[in-house]
Amino acid sequence: MITRAQETAPWWRILGQKDVLAGLFLMGVAAAGLWLSRDYQIGTALRMGTGYVPRLLCWVLLVLGLIVLLQGLRAGAAAAGAFAEFWWRPFVFVPLSLLAFVHTIERLGAIIASALLIAVGAFAGRNMRPVEVAATALVLIALCWVIFIWGLGLPIQAWPEW
């Protein structure tokens, strides 16, 4: 089945189709799983080895991914790709804010790590106002301190050790 969109658009437009991407993703995971488990012992149905169930699942996933991919190819390219709305800032700064937290919490304590997370995370949004973000940070950090450290008494370092 060839749709109009396919006739006029370049061939790679089909890659924006969500089912094509989803199918490729599932097949990719399955292939990687099969490769990683290539040396796992399979064993028999009676005495299943480490690899029996994982490899079985990977093969099933490979077939399912293929079906999804074919469904996507048959449906043809959509007018707007799955990631048409993509904006790089949240995609980069949201994970980055968590990374900042990871790298500072143990050395600099929860308060500095939280402030850093909010500072980095704020770059992910639209129309952010620095004063507003700073006020939010103060309120949130105070709240977290009350809940986690004061209220629940969790063994978290609040400040860096001198």
Partner 1 sequence: MGDFFSNIAIGFGVALTPINLSFALIGTLVGTLIGVLPGIGSVATVAMLLPLTFYLEPVSGLIMLAGIFYGAQYGGSTTAILVNLPGETSSVVTCIDGHQMARQGRAGPALATAALASLFAGCVATTLIALFSPPLAKIGQSFGSPEYFALMVLGLIAAVVLAHGSVVKAIGMVILGLLLGLVGTDGQTGGERFTFGMTILSDGIGFVPLAVGVFGVGEIIANLMSRQQQRSIVGDKITQLWPSRADFRLAWPAAMRGTAVGSLLGVLPGGGATLASFAAYVVEKKSARDPSRFGRGAIEGVAGPEAANNAGAQASFIPMLTLGIPGNAVMALMIGALTIHGIQPGPQVMTERPTLFWGMVASMWIGNLILVIINLPLIGMWVQLLRVPYRLLYLAILLFSAIGVYTVNNSTFEVLLTALFGVLGYIFLKLEMEPAPMLLGFVLGPLMEENLRRAMRISGGDPMIFVERPISLGLLIAALALLILVALPMIRAKREEAFQEP
Restricting to residues 2-31, name those near partner 1 by CB under 8 A: 18-19, 21-22, 25-26, 29
Residues 101-130 interacting with partner 1 (rule: CB under 8 A): 101-103, 105-106, 110, 114, 117-118, 121-122, 124-128
Contact call for residue 77 and partner 1 (CB under 8 A): no
Using CB under 8 A as the binding rule, whether residue 58 contacts partner 1 is answered as yes
Phi and psi at 48, nearest 5°, equal -70, 130
The one among 15, 28, 83, 146 contacting partner 1 by CB under 8 A: 83
Instruction: Choose which of 60, 138, 142, 146 interacts with partner 1 (CB under 8 A).
Output: 60
Max CA distance (Å), the chain: 69
Binding of residue 99 to partner 1 (CB under 8 A) = yes
CA angle at 30 for the pair 29 and 36, rounded to the nearest 5°: 85
CA distances from 63 to 14, 23, 50, 56, 103 (A): 20, 10, 22, 11, 40
CB of residue 103 to partner 1, shortest distance in Å:
8
125-141 CB burial, b ≥16 within 10 A, e <16:
eeeeeeeebeeebeeeb
Q: Of 6, 13, 31, 40, which lies in the binding site for partner 1, with binding defined by CB under 8 A?
A: 40
Residue 130 and residue 136: Cα distance in Å, rounded?
10
Least spacing, CB of residue 140 vs partner 1, in Å? 5
36 near partner 1 (CB under 8 A): yes
Q: 19: number of CA atoms within 13 Å, CB side?
A: 14
Q: Is 76 in the site for partner 1 (CB under 8 A)?
A: no
